[in-house]
Amino acid sequence: MSYKVKLDIFEGPFDLLVYLIERAGVNIYDVNISEITDQYLAYVDVMEQIDPDTAAEFMVLAATLLQIKSRMLLPAEKTDKGTVIEEDPRDELAKKIVEYKKYKYIAEVLRICEERGSRIYTKPREDISVYMGEPEEYLNVDMNKFIKAFRLFLEKRRRVEEVKKRYEQVAREKMSMERKSQQVSGLLRKRKRLSFGDLLADEKDTYDIVLTFVTLLEMLAKSMITVNQPVVFGDIEVMLKEDLQNERH
């Protein structure tokens, strides 16, 4: 069996052990200690050939695994009365592995939080003392002038209200999309080709601008017009289809 060991993928002895157990797909409390120990020692052997200093850190746990392996081979201990003492040598190691996995999970959560926090930028604190402690300013206005100005305001408001009661503002009728389509078709029959900017040149109202744009989209969907943009980000040219050029309304 060949082993490929990359030293920086295992953070410590327990990291390698957890990796071997998870790869075997068994419960921590039901580990085949003999098989796992053999695999662990094989990894450590390769590490020792690559980097003896790093491998030394793994030797303590390797010794523990060998001790547990040897204890598993011994017959069960009995009391003076002949009762078998059921003590699993793996229990203490299993508890340490569970504890290790718990702290590793917490460390990963903290690492993610730190990574997210590093992408958050706060605005530096500014000195606002120059805007504080300024004395309040008062307008030096003559009371009679103030009263006169207020009366003029009330009078102007009263006149505006009277005008509103006598006159009504008449809003012009909004053009429909069908009428705008006929208008655009008529312009294109005369000019053959118009830019999008030319079609909007005389439009002052927001409604008319939106209506023109939506109408052009509708005409394009119905294959009534063709559009072309010779230059990137340049003006868009609008042309009437040839079969509609000679029609008269």
With pLDDT > 70 as the criterion, what percentage of the chain qualifies? 74
Query: Residue 66's pLDDT is what?
Result: 81
pLDDT at 50 over 70: no
pLDDT (0 to 100) of residue 8: 45
95 Cβ partners below 8 Å, 6+ apart? none
3-state secondary structure the chain: CCCCCCHHHCCCHHHHHHHHHHHHCCCHHHCCHHHHHHHHHHHHHHHHHHCHHHHHHHHHHHHHHHHHHHHHHCCCCECCCCCECCCCCCHHHHHHHHHHHHHHHHHHHHHHHHHHHHCCCCCCCCCCHHHCCCCCCCCCCCHHHHHHHHHHHHHHHHHHHHHHHHCCCCCCCCCCHHHHHHHHHHHHHHHCEEEHHHHHCCCCCHHHHHHHHHHHHHHHHCCCEEEECCCCCCCCEEEECHHHHCCCC
pLDDT(74) > 80: no
Is 44 buried (19+), middle (13-18) or exposed (0-12) by CB count in 10 A? buried
Token readout for 122 is: 């706060």
Please, which pLDDT band fits residue 110 given cuts at 50, 70 and 90? Answer: very high
For position 137, what pLDDT does the model report?
Answer: 64
Contact 197, 235 (CB under 8 A): yes
177-196 tens-digit pLDDT: 888 888 888 888 887 788 88
User: How many CB atoms within 10 Å of residue 33?
Assistant: 20
d(C-alpha 193, C-alpha 187), whole Å: 9
- Against a cut of 0.85, is the pTM above it? no
